[in-house]
Amino acid sequence: MNNREQSSRVVRPHGPVERGRPLMERPAMVVKGRPPGPMYRAKGPVESININERSSGKYNVDGRQDVRMEKYSRSFPPSAEVLVSHAEASGVNRSHVGSRYNAENGVLLDSAARRSDSHTEEAHEDSSEGDVEESGVFEDEFGSNQDGKSGASGPEDALANQMVDALTLSDGAAGTSAVKQAKTSRGKDFRFDSFRGHHVSSFRMRLRRRLVECRYAIDKLVPHLLSIYQSLIPPEDEKAKQKQLLLSLEKLVNKQWPKAQLHIYGSCANSFGVSNSDIDICLAIDDADLSKSDILLKLADILQSDNLQNVQALTHARVPIVKLMDPISGISCDICVNNLLAVVNTKLLRDYAKIDDRLRQLAFIVKHWAKSRRVNETYRGTLSSYAYVLMCIYFLQQRKPAILPCLQQMEATYAITVDNTTCAFFDQVERLRDFGAHNKESIAYLLWAFFHYWAYCHDYTNDVISIRTGGIISKRLKDWTRRIGNDRHLICIEDPFEIEHDLGRVVDKFSIKILREEFERAADILQFDPNPCVTLFEPYIPPSLPQEQVHPELDE
């Protein structure tokens, strides 16, 4: 070996300090999506990726397009025609449009990608066990208000990195985790429906979507929605049967208690009842010698003597009732004792319904949607039909200009005290028939705006809706910021008379995700779907596979 060759192998100092050790390659670093090799010297062709591409959704750890992050670069979605053309070009079934379908780019999302959208927000909004929901910190960082105006966005690159890393989760691992949770959970909060509630938008996504305007020519949906509404209204002969049953029951009751009165309350009396509904009756009686349980047992004996069917006295229920069925009309009936507050509440809702026809139209369609999507079951942690009616009233009170007034804030023309609760409101509603005439919004636009509000605009962390005040009340003001017993206050709807009663108290940290996911699905269908009047009301059918077949390894 000559001197020239020897000089080429002289060890050179490296680094800021003159060191005599040889220059060595660092160990290869494995980077997702890149072949292994020295960090500073690529072996083979390597795609160069900068942070801007990564955060804008052009790169994915699986080598696929990250359709989620692409949403952040768009202010407004494409039209329905572009949406469907993208879907067909991607080989996606048209029925997916607007539901489990990314309506902004025409690509069907895998569950891991959709799940990672809500990953960051869930860490803030699901703390039902704490004193205050931690999502309030997240809301305060960005700033928002009811009208959809938002403050500055946070560090997008950091969020992008978190969301890209979250995509490494596989569907199998997520399913295994859900089943393990089902087997280990013993709390009352747990309701096993691992197929819903994973696709709620992140907070930043909601800030973007608040600014989206309604689709063009949505008023074309008005005839279809009105036909659905008409099909839900009870026929006149059904109302006549209900009145006839009430009169016959009152005759029976007056034989035992001459001064007693029967009042129909609930959906059948407040103008929001659909066809084939059961009726609720309140027995107003002043008998200090008997308890409610004794009155109900005596009432059950009276009703059985008149050949009414399926008579049952449920004296240990939360609201003790007598159940029965009239064999002539086929109507089922529940009778309670001295629940006069419910009767007054029924009158308030009936008066609201007389002011503007759009309230009944909106409430009927929303209730029909909730039943189809199975989010009207309080025993499963979702909302009651009564809660949805209050949500509709509040929503119409907030329109600009308002469609409904706040009757409890007007000069009272009706007042009564029930169980130490004063109920007072303006009930001369025939004078308010033109109250919402300046607002020209159609039922189609209002339906979209309703779902859009609950999907993207409502502040679940801090706000309580109240038709009593016609506006928002702070959760902190009502001390509804923490869980007390089984009352969780994740979506807060104040009862207009029992103001300490939150109608959303039954919603837990699992079902709140299902509700919000369904609100988003409905808003997106009305915004993008080519046939929203069909897709919106598609029934939700829970998968029927036994969990042992899905993940049998967990039974070992």
Long-range contacts of 374-378 (CB under 8 A, 24+ apart): 374/539, 374/540, 374/542, 375/514, 375/515, 375/518, 378/506
User: Are 196 and 514 a contacting pair, CB within 8 Å?
Assistant: yes
286 three-class SS: coil
* Distance between CA atoms of residues 463 and 146, nearest Å: 10
pLDDT in the model for residue 94: 41
pLDDT in the model for residue 444: 97
* Distance between CA atoms of residues 190 and 174, nearest Å: 17
Q: Could you tell me the CA-to-CA distances from 229 to 187, 213, 217, 223, 357 in Å, in that order?
A: 40, 25, 20, 10, 11
513 three-class SS: helix
pLDDT in the model for residue 185: 39
Residue ranges in the chain modelled with pLDDT below 50: 4-8, 10-190, 545-556
One-letter amino acid at 102 equals N
Count the neighbouring beta carbons within 10 Å of the beta carbon of residue 452: 24
pTM of structure: 0.67
* Distance between CA atoms of residues 281 and 333, nearest Å: 7
**E strands in 125-211:** none
* Distance between CA atoms of residues 369 and 385, nearest Å: 11
- Residues 6 or more apart whose Cβ sits within 8 Å of residue 373: 518, 521, 522, 539, 540
User: Are 343 and 510 a contacting pair, CB within 8 Å?
Assistant: no
Please report where in the chains the tokens 């207009």 appear, as a residue: 496
**E strands in 229-331:** 261-265, 279-284, 309-314, 321-325
Please report where in the chains the tokens 């020519």 appear, as a residue: 217
* Distance between CA atoms of residues 302 and 6, nearest Å: 116
